[in-house]
Chain A
Amino acid sequence: MVNTVVRRVYHNLFRRTSTFALTILLGAVMFERAFDSGGDMLWDHLNRGKQWKDIKDKCGLPAEEEE
């Protein structure tokens, strides 16, 4: 089972240099996006309510009365 998957990946992606390079490139891009957004989500989850973006809606200038 695993063997067939490995062989398929090898034959379809890694066997030729062109597809191999493309796989590496695309894989790197996808991984980076996933890793970054995952890390950001974790950070935001751990710091709910503490960050600037959480409080900025409540921080507006009471400037409306001046106008």
Chain B
Amino acid sequence: MAANLCRVSGRSLLKVQNVVAPAKSNMSSFSKMSMGKKVLFGTLGAVTAGGAGLLGALHYSTTVHAGELELHPPKFPWSHNGLFNALDHGSIRRGYQVYKEVCAACHSMQYLAFRNLVGVSHTEEEAKALAEEIEVLDGPDEEGEMFMRPGKLSDYFPQPYANEEAARAANNGAYPPDLSYIILARHGGEDYVFSLLTGYCDPPAGLPELRDGQYYNPYFPGQAISMAQALYNEIIEYEDGSDDRQHGHRLLLLPQAPQVVCAEEQEDSLQAPSITPHIPPVADL
């Protein structure tokens, strides 16, 4: 509004009364140029545009760089793929359980708070109960002392290490990344994370020896990862009774979601068990 007013008043201020038609500049008009100049400018323009286009095409095309030796993860048919598919909240709930029982020993998830679980994977009472399991440094109180109190919904997830240096010192110099945004933070997203977690294997012959505390994983850039295989069959007992054994090794990440979530509906919809990832709740963002 103000800008419009300004523009209007400014225009009236700037109005020149007797406008003399400006003399036609002689530097325009392509048509008056000599033939040689025309050809020159035309060629220059074509070369510039073509070069820019070629550079752009090379830059944005999915080229395979010679330095990339890691295995690219395949695309998995996640049940939340596509515009009209929600995340499977039963899977999110199991994912939090996996995080809490396995990942949280080394990985922080510091940008998520217990309140983020409410209405996503846990009821408010459950989230409160989970929060109360941890001790949080709070204060100062009236005497200026810091004190510990049980966690509240507004508290963020506890971190396994006080800082990055402590984390590195405890893990052979490797820093376990924060898992809050890990799906968004890695190329390949959930496909990559899933492939990485289930893709541990013996190193092929001919590779130099891995250092102590390193493991071979073809999906990890550099192939030598400092995280040992963390997920195995039957290490987690899901509270909703889903079983990670039936589909073998992978099933830790692929509990049959339909069975878990809605047993009666699975029967009438005769679809194959949809693949459901255990993404940390952050994928909900």
Stretch in B120-128, B181-189, B245-253 with 4+ CB within 8 Å of A: B120-128
Q: Does B95 contact A (CB under 8 A)?
A: no
Q: Does A18 contact B (CB under 8 A)?
A: no
A49 to nearest B CB, angstroms? 3
Interface pair B93/A59, CB less than 8 Å apart? yes
Stretch in B23-31, B34-42, B214-222, B255-263 with 4+ CB within 8 Å of A: B255-263
Q: Does B60 contact A (CB under 8 A)?
A: no
CB-CB under 8 A for A52 and B262, given A43-B86, A61-B125? no
CB-CB under 8 A for A61 and B123, given A43-B84, A48-B262, A50-B79? yes
CB-CB under 8 A for A55 and B129, given A46-B85, A50-B88, A50-B90? no
Q: Which residues of B contact A47 (CB under 8 A)?
A: 84-86
Contacts across chains A and B counted by CB atoms under 8 Å:
55
Looking at chain A, what size class is its interface with the partner chain? 10 to 19
- The one of B126, B129, B261 that contacts A49, using a Cβ cutoff of 8 Å: B261
Q: Does B265 contact A (CB under 8 A)?
A: yes
Interface pair A50/B89, CB less than 8 Å apart? yes
**Bound complex: CA of A42 vs CA of B262, how far in Å?**
18
**Bound complex: CA of A46 vs CA of B123, how far in Å?**
24
CB nearest to B258 among chain A residues: A49
**Bound complex: CA of A50 vs CA of B88, how far in Å?**
4
Looking at chain B, what size class is its interface with the partner chain? 20 to 34
CB-CB under 8 A for A63 and B125, given A50-B86, A51-B89, A52-B89? yes
Q: For window 105-146 of chain B, which residues contact chain A by CB distance below 8 Å?
A: 119-123, 125-126, 129
Query: Digit string of A36-67 for contact with B (CB within 8 Å is 1, else 0)?
Result: 00000011001111111011101111010000
Interface pair A54/B89, CB less than 8 Å apart? yes
Interface pair A54/B262, CB less than 8 Å apart? yes
CB nearest to B84 among chain A residues: A46
CB nearest to A52 among chain B residues: B89
B119 to nearest A CB, angstroms? 6
B96 to nearest A CB, angstroms? 11
Q: Which residues of A contact B258 (CB under 8 A)?
A: 49
Name 6 interchain pairs, CB-CB below 8 A, sorted by A: A43-B86, A46-B84, A50-B87, A51-B89, A55-B90, A59-B126
